[in-house]
Amino acid sequence: KTAALVRTTTAVTVVNAGEKINAIPGSATALINHRIHPLDSPETILRYNRKVINDPRVKLTRYNSYPGSDRTNYTPVSPVSDTDTLGFRAIQSAVARVFHAPTTIMIMIGNTDTRHYWRLSSNIYRFSAIEIDLEDVGMFHGVNERISTTNLLKLTTFYEDLVESTCFRIGNTA
């Protein structure tokens, strides 16, 4: 459950081959999803795949499943944001006030919708104001995805605190 926090992970997610139970398929395709760790790159992963597969008949193609993409390019690895900023310090302060805990830096698993905002700001923090344990991790993007009522209340309190304290800090109390 925590593998993607420390290394690139790989999952074969879609496989297409034959159409009949009694006929060997002439070709096959497989879609492989990589959650690329910030210390890796798409090029490194592609080289590794070629080395492991080691079969010249297998063609490897980068594939992007996002609508509007040319579908032959990968989704870039999320950039890492600076932690010495007003925004990050505001998150730290709100975490301390609401959760009574220090802020730790970790990798956000998966590529979020923040890719749409990379051109607007380099200070994008993929942060969830909820308390989770290892059992909770498995429910993200799974069957019966949800958060607890306690987490919903804490999340609401956190964002209320973050917005109010940040607006007050920059002199906008409206």
pLDDT digits (tens, 9 = 90+) for 115-135: 788 889 988 888 888 887 777
Domains of the chain: 1-77 (no CATH), 86-169 (1.10.150)
Q: Residue 158: which pLDDT band, with cuts at 50, 70 and 90?
A: very high
How many Å apart are CA 104 and CA 106, to the nearest integer? 6
Residue 114 DSSP label: G
DSSP assignment string, 8-27: -EEEEEEEE--SSTTS--S-
For residue range 29-83, list pLDDT tens digits in order.
998 888 888 888 888 999 999 999 999 999 988 776 655 655 556 666 777 889 9
Please report the pLDDT score of residue 35 as a whole number. Answer: 83
Please report the pLDDT score of residue 106 as a whole number. Answer: 76
Listed in sequence order, the residues at least 6 apart from 17 whose beta carbon sits closer than 8 Å to its beta carbon are 25, 27, 28, 29
Please report the pLDDT score of residue 99 as a whole number. Answer: 93
Listed in sequence order, the residues at least 6 apart from 127 whose beta carbon sits closer than 8 Å to its beta carbon are 91, 108
Mean pLDDT of 12-16: 91
Residue for token pair 């496989």: 15
Percent of the chain with pLDDT over 90: 35
Average pLDDT score over the chain: 83
